[in-house]
Amino acid sequence: MTGIAAVFHRDGRPADPRSVERMLAAAPYRGAERHCHVDGAVAIGATARASMSCHNGVALVFDGRIDNRDELLDLLPPAMFGRALSTDADLALAAYVRWGDAGADKLLGDFAFVIWDAPQRRVVCARDIIGIKPLYYYCDGNLFVCASEPQQVLAAVPRTLDVNEAMVAEHLSLRVMHQTETLFTDLCHVPAANVLSVTSDALAMRRYYDPPTRTEIRYRTDAEYAEHFRALLIDAIRCRLDGDRPFAAYLSGGLDSSTLVGLIEQARRRGAMPDAQMETVTMVAPGRPSDETSYARDVVRLWDLRSHEIDTRADDAQVFVDHVAHYRDAPLGPNVIAADRLVERVRDTGCRVVLTGMGGDDWLCAAWIHIPELLARGRVREFFDVLRWENEQEFRTGWLKPVLVRGVWPLLPLAMQTLVNRARGRTASPVPDPLTPEFAAATRVGERTALPTGKACATRSRQELYNWLFDGRLTYVMDLEDRHHAGFGVEARHPFHDRRVIEFLMAIPEDQRWRSTETKFILRTAAAGVLPDSVRTRVTKGDYSHAFIQAFDAFGGEACFASLEAAKRGWVDHDAVRQRYLRMRAAYDRGDESYSLDTRCLWAVFGIELWLRYGRLTPGAPSSIFYETPKELQP
C-alpha cells in the first residue's frame, strides 16, 4: 500500500514539489516517506522509494501489486533499462515504455499508477480492471492534480468545488452508477480498466480492458469445473500473500471467506502455499439472529486455526464525523465502521495484509435473469422449483403473479414492456426513493442510472456480469474498502476479484453458479473436503443491519431527521423521510427483521447530510484528526 500524487501545470508554470509533498502528507497512513520527482511543470511523488521508477525522461509512481512478473519478464527485452527490473514499479514502467498505453492491459494484479512522459509531454494514469486501487483527479485549463484519496487532491485545488447534484441523486437513490464522477464537480475518479492521458491542451480517457464475452468453458463433469476453479483460486490467493510474512483472513462463517481459509490451510499443509502464519478474524454479534459465530468456529475447529472473535459496534458518532471531515466524502456505512475493531486487531497482530471474501457474491451468485432464462429454454420444472424457493411467501397466496413478474415479464421486448407500462399508467422511469420528483427530473437520475452496456453478450446472465464489471457501484465499494483499511495501515486483498477468476466464472455455464435451488454450486463443489458440512451446505447469510440502528442512536435517533439540509435544497421530502425512519424504528423495536429494508436508504440521506455539514470545507489542506500538515509544507 502506497500513497501516490502528481501535479501538472498545463500552462507551463514550474511545479512546486511541496504541493505534492503536502498531498502525500494528507494520507500519512499510506507511508511516512515522501519521495518526489520534478521536471519543469510536473511533480510526481510516492510514499516509498520502491514505488518510483525512472528511465530516459519517463517517470512513474505506483501503488499496488503485479502478479505476472515472470510472464512480463519473458515478454520484455533483456536488460531493458540496463538494470534489473527489481520492483513492481520498474515492471509497470517497462510495460509502458514497451507497449505504451496498451501496457496497462499486460499487467495482472491490483494497481494504480501515474506516469510523466517527458518526451511526449503528457501525464498518463491507469487503474486495474476492478478499481481495487484508488486514484482521483482534478483538471481545469491550467492545472491537473491526481492522488490516491480525495482529500489529497482537494488539498492542492485552489478553489472551492461545487456540489455535483447529479451524483447526490445517485447516492440518495442507492444507485451510484457513474465510475468517473464524485459528489464534487470536477473531482473525479480515474475509472477502473481505463487509461487517462493528459497534455497541455487535451484530456482523453480510453478503456484498455474488455473481458472475453463469447468464450465458453465446457467440461463433462462438475468435478472438472470445480478442479479448474480450485486451481485458479489457490493461485489467486498465493499471489496475494507476501511470501512467508504473517497475514490475516476474515472468517465470517459464510461460504466465500470460509472456503478461502480452508483452501489456504489445506494447500499450506500440502506444501502448495507459503508457510506463513494466518490469523483469522471474525465479527460476532451475540444474541442476534444474524450472528455467524458458530459457523466460523466450525471452520476453526476443522483446521485448528488461530482465531480472533471481535464483538463490534457502530455507536460512536464522532467516528463518522471525523471520516467525513477527513476524506471530504459521504461516510462509510455503519456496517463497515462496525468492523473497525477487526481491522485494528489485524494491525495489532503484526499483519499488514488481510484476505477477504469480497467478490464471491459478485461473480458466483447467479444473475436474477437466470430464472426467466430457465423458462425460455423450456426447463419449466426447474423454473418452478427455483421460483418457489425464491418466492415462497408469494407462492402461498398464488403462483400466477410470481410467474408473470419473475418469469414472463423479463423476457418481453423493451418496446412491449413500455406499451404495457403506458397502458397501466406507469412512467418508464419512476422517481427513485427518496428523491422528490422535481429533483429526480432536474438531475435526470433515471437516465443516468440506466446506462447502456456497449457490448452484447452470449446470454442475459453473462450480460448481467459484464454490466456489473463496469458498474460504478463496484468501483465505489472498492474505493471505500481500500480507504477503510488504509486508515489502519492494513491492505485488503480480494482473491475472488482476480482477473483470471473473473474471466473463468464469466465463461462457465450458468448452472455451475445456480443448480436448481443450490446457489454458488461450483464453489460448494470445489469446497468439498475443506469445509465442514454446516458451512458448505449453508444457504443463509449474515446481516449486520443493526449497526445502522446503533449509528442512528448515536446521533440522537429521530433527531437525525429533525432538520434536513437536503430537504431545504429540495432533494428529499422531509416528512416522508421522517415517517420512514419512524416506521423502521418501530419495526426494529418489535423484533421485525423487515426494518433492515429501510436502513440503507435512510443512511444515504443522513450520510449526505453529514457531508453537507462537515465535508465541504474551504480550499487547502483540510483539518483532520488523521494528520496535521507539517509547517515546512504549509502554503
The burial of 384, by beta-carbon neighbours within 10 Å (0-12 exposed, 13-18 middle, 19 or more buried), is given as middle
Q: Is pLDDT above 70 for 631?
A: no
pLDDT one-digit tens code per residue, 532-546: 999 999 988 888 899
Secondary structure, 3-state, 321-353 = HHHHHHHCCCCCCHHHHCCHHHHHHHHHCCCCE
The residues of the chain that CATH labels 3.40.50.620 are 222-364+473-536
pLDDT at 427 over 80: no
Q: Which CATH number fits the domain 222-364+473-536, given the four candidates 3.40.50.620, 3.30.930.10, 1.10.1740.10, 3.40.50.300?
A: 3.40.50.620
Domain 4-209 sits in CATH 3.30.450.20: no
Q: Averaged over 598-627, what is the pLDDT?
A: 76
Polymer length of the chain: 635
Q: Please, what is the end-to-end C-alpha distance for the chain in angstroms?
A: 27
pLDDT band at 428 (very low <50, low <70, confident <90, very high): low
Segment 145-163, tens digit of pLDDT = 999 999 999 999 988 999 9
Cβ count near 75 (within 10 Å): 13
Which three three-digit cell numbers place residue 117? Answer: 512522459
Domain boundaries for CATH 3.60.20.10 within the chain: 4-209
Distance CA 198, CA 205 (A): 9
Q: Sign of the C-alpha dihedral, residues 315, 612, 185, 140? A: negative
* Residue-level pLDDT at 619: 42
Q: Assess whether pLDDT exceeds 80 at residue 289.
A: no
Specify the pLDDT at position 577: 96
CA distances from 26 to 186, 337, 347 (A): 20, 21, 21
User: Given this model, what pLDDT does residue 390 score?
Assistant: 67
Q: Cα–Cα distance between 520 and 538 in angstroms, integer?
A: 11
| pLDDT for res 410 | 77
Q: What angle do CA 147, 148, 154 make, to 5 degrees?
A: 50
Question: Which among 82, 4, 192, 195 is positioned nearest to 94, based on CA atoms?
Answer: 82
Coil/strand/helix, residue 159: coil
| Per-residue model confidence as pLDDT tens digits over 522-535 | 999 999 999 999 99
How far is the C-alpha of 307 from the C-alpha of 305, rounded, in Å? 6
pLDDT in tens, 199-214: 999 999 999 999 988 8
Distance CA 473, CA 58 (A): 34
Work out the average pLDDT over 187-197: 97
Average pLDDT over residues 456-460: 78
At 625, is the pLDDT very low, low, confident or very high (cuts 50, 70, 90)? very low
Percent of the chain with pLDDT over 70: 93
pTM over 0.85: yes
Q: Say whether pLDDT at 143 is over 90.
A: yes
pLDDT, mean over the chain: 90
